[in-house]
Each structure stands twice: as structure tokens, then as C-alpha cells.
Amino acid sequence: MIKLQWRWSKFLRISLLSALLTIPLKSFGTTIPTDVAVPTTQSTSQMNIVQALVLGMVQGLTEFIPISSTAHLKVVPVVLGWGDPGVAFTAIIQLGSIAAVLWYFWSDLWQISTGTIQAIQRKDYQANDFRMAVGIGLGTLPIVFCGLLIKIFIPDFDNSPLRSTVAIACASIFMGLLLGVAEKIGTRERNFDKLGMQDGILMGFAQALALVPGVSRSGSTITAGLFMRLERGTAARFSFLLGIPAITLAGLVELKDLLESGVGEGGFMPLTVGVISSAVFSYAAIAWLIRYLQTSNTWIFVWYRVAFGVAILAAIIAGIMPDS
């Protein structure tokens, strides 16, 4: 009981820390011009606390489960009539997910960090911790490089055809089927101790695919891990560790841009609520998925992703949902 209370106390402190990352320095910010508006994208100033709480829950539950948080953060608010929250809000509330994954995998991160330092001191560059750290670092480069290209060449990515509901539906169906193939042919013979530098690089290229909404970062990396003969639990665990730098960078970049432009009247509180909600539900999702994949397969996610995509397409064809 004492240990459980200590763990939850530590988690709440980390959740609070993640929320503090969203505090806007008003003296450095400006207000969002009122004469510029995108009808299909909802700004943080238009979002209330209840909406932020729900979207934080959606982010937390879907960031690490291989069903695409971006897709659900685009579709769920549209279905509820709230509009698309946009790339910035989506990226910033991911900071809550980072707080959760840092806490959950703190012992792994500490082992990798200290083991890497010791390996450098010994000049033992074949040590597993060193190779894994380098693999995570190199595996982060593809998504960073591609993300920078998108930011430079597609500045209006919020309204890109890649973020349309049709594109999200198609990506969900395709990646669901691909996960099914990986589940079917993967041998699942390699555990966490057998991971190396090349695994981080290969999974990193798969992670870059998640820049396309609907692909799912965890979905693409877990799928790649199964193709790489990793055990299901190992693939998920390594996927989460690999995602820490990428998700953190995306959230901090969008947070910086938002602080420079200003969050607008009432924008601070929804962001804070969204980040905290994301942290709490992300931790629950990580704990559940790790336990689930130790004894079960991924077919439930395959069928869910296919059904999710088909339902979106059917709703668009029937005129129930706009292709926004």
C-alpha cells in the first residue's frame, strides 16, 4: 500500500510538471489576430475545459495503443461538433503523454543512460545499453528530418489533404491490415535484451510514417517490430522508448510557436487541463497495453482500425460526416 501511494504521488508530481510546461509567459506573447480564422480548425481560445479534458483523454488512450491518436483527435471532436482542434493543440497535449512514458519507463531510461555513460568510459561501444541509446538517437532522425520538411514546405499542414477524414480513414484501414500481416508472419523470437542499434534505425523509419495522420506512431513502430521478429511486448516497449524524443520535440516546437503567437483569451486553462488529462490516461494506456501484449495478440487492434476506417468512409458517403 505504501509503495502504491508513493508511485501515484510521484506520477501526480510528474503530471503537474507536464502541465507547467504549458504555462504561457504572457509578457512574451501576443494575442492571436481576430481577423484570421480557419473554420475547420478550433483554436485553444475557443476550446472550453470540458472539451480539453475529453481530448486529453482521447490523446492519452490512443497515443500508445496502436490505433492513431491523431486520427481520433481529428475525428472525435468533428463527430461531437467541436471542429478540428488543429496540429498545435494535438502536439502540445502530447507533453502529458511524455510525462507518463517517462515515469513508466524511468528505470529503463536510467539503465540505458547510466549504461551508455559507463560504456563510453570503458570504450565498450558494443555494450547493449550504448547500442540501444545510439539506436534511439539515430531512429529519431527520420521523423525529425521529415517533420522539418513538412514545417518548411507545408506551413498550412492543418488544412492539408493528408489531414482530411478520407485520408485518415484510408491510412487506418491500410495500417490495420499491415499490422495483421505482421501479426501473421512475425516469429516473435527476440526479446528486449536482444535489441540493438539497427533495430532503432529500422523502427525509426517506420516511426516517420506517423507524420501522416491516421498511420499511428505506435502502430507503425509495433508493426515494424513484429516484422523484425520482436516479441509483442518488446516491440511495444521499444516503440514507447523510441517515441520519447520525437513526441517531446514535436510538443515543445508547437508550444514555442504558440507562446510566440499567444494562446488568446482563455487559452491557458484548456491547454493545462488537456495536458494533465493526457498524462493520466496515457499512463493507464501504457500499463494496460504492456500487460495485454504479454499474453494476447494484436488482432483486436487490426479489426478496430479497419472498422474505424470503414465507419468513417461510410459516414462520409452517407453525408453524416464532412470530409474536412
Residues 248/96, Cβ–Cβ less than 8 Å: no
Maximum alpha-carbon separation in the chain: 65
- Distances from the Cα of 185 to the Cαs of 7, 205, 227, in angstroms? 38, 20, 7
DSSP state of 164: S
Give the C-alpha separation, 138 to 142, whole Å.
8
Specify whether the CB–CB gap between 50 and 307 falls below 8 A: no
Task: Compare 259 and 44 and report the one with higher pLDDT.
Answer: 259
Tell me the C-alpha distance between 120 and 318, whole Å. 60
**Distance in angstroms (rounded) separating the CA atoms of residues 225 and 227:** 5
Cβ proximity of 138 and 200 under 8 Å: yes
Cα dihedral sign for 207, 210, 214, 215? Answer: negative
- DSSP states of 10-44: HHHHHHHHHHHTT---GGG--PPPTT---TTB--G
Least confident of 151-155, 174-178, 315-319: 151-155
pLDDT of residue 109: 94
Q: In terms of Cα–Cα distance, which of 217, 201, 248 is closest to 96?
A: 248
Note the pLDDT tens digit of each residue in 53-73: 999 999 999 999 999 998 999
Q: Is the pLDDT of residue 86 over 60?
A: yes
pLDDT reported for residue 262: 65
Separation between Cα atoms, residue 277 and residue 59, nearest integer Å: 9
Average pLDDT of span 178-207: 93
Of residues 90, 79, 97, the one with CA closest to residue 280 = 97
Question: Which residue, 208, 212, 237, 209, is CA-closest to 222?
Answer: 237
CA distance 201 to 246: 13
Digit-coded pLDDT (tens) for 130-159? 998 999 999 999 999 998 898 888 888 777
What is the residue-averaged pLDDT of the chain?
Answer: 84
Binned at pLDDT 50, 70 and 90, residue 264 comes out as low
